[in-house]
A and B are shown apart, each in its own frame.
Chain A
């Protein structure tokens, strides 16, 4: 029996957009787009099984081999450094990791900079690259209010349109790294299902070029 290719997709709009690319590449599974609460979908004929998972968990499913390949943001790859292959920049889900602060903020380099973020490792690596002493405040959500309440001097977070920042009187003062969705693969799966993964990757690379 042919091995199924297991694919972890991030729940939400990005996942749906990426699924359409996969379907065009010959890995279709129409039931996936039907409105249902199911999380696993299979198309035996196409040899493919899709899972909807929380976007930040895709890399875990792939690293641990529950999924052979998956789609996840570069932010997750930078933050958690999972041991996976990063095969393709899908050129979608584009945004940036940025440092933001209250309008008119001036960095007082005599003091330790207080940084609120969900992405501690990215923030630490960014400031270590130019030797700035920082105090990381790890938050799980509503990062934007940290500078307003005086909890932190700046925040390091994902910025898409900048509307949330603007509404909270914050502005981007520095871009840390551009972010987009990436096609990732489990290293062991790549050894045993390499031809399927390669076929999919090449089809998608063609679509990105168009």
Chain B
């Protein structure tokens, strides 16, 4: 039996799609979602907001010695990413053969975040990969 399923289930919107909040009074975005705007307090108007997921790497580190759940992934890169809307979040960087660089633009990708052993649930969620554009849209831009 698992006792983690409800905790995981409650955070699915944030893990799958970076669902946060936005204060329309001061135009600040929050991730994870807040139900109080620290700037506007009683004058806040908060709405649900799903982040685009694109952002810029502020800083990063490479993990060589991980906890048991992540030791199969080593070495892996963990970065602080500033989303285009403003909030900074921590996320793993994948699919980057050129390595990770500060200032690199990234996009969200859907990956396995962890597994509850061989019998428990699989946690899915968002990691980040270098931003790519479809090649034919680049060709179109080049034509202009």
A, B from the same assembly:
no
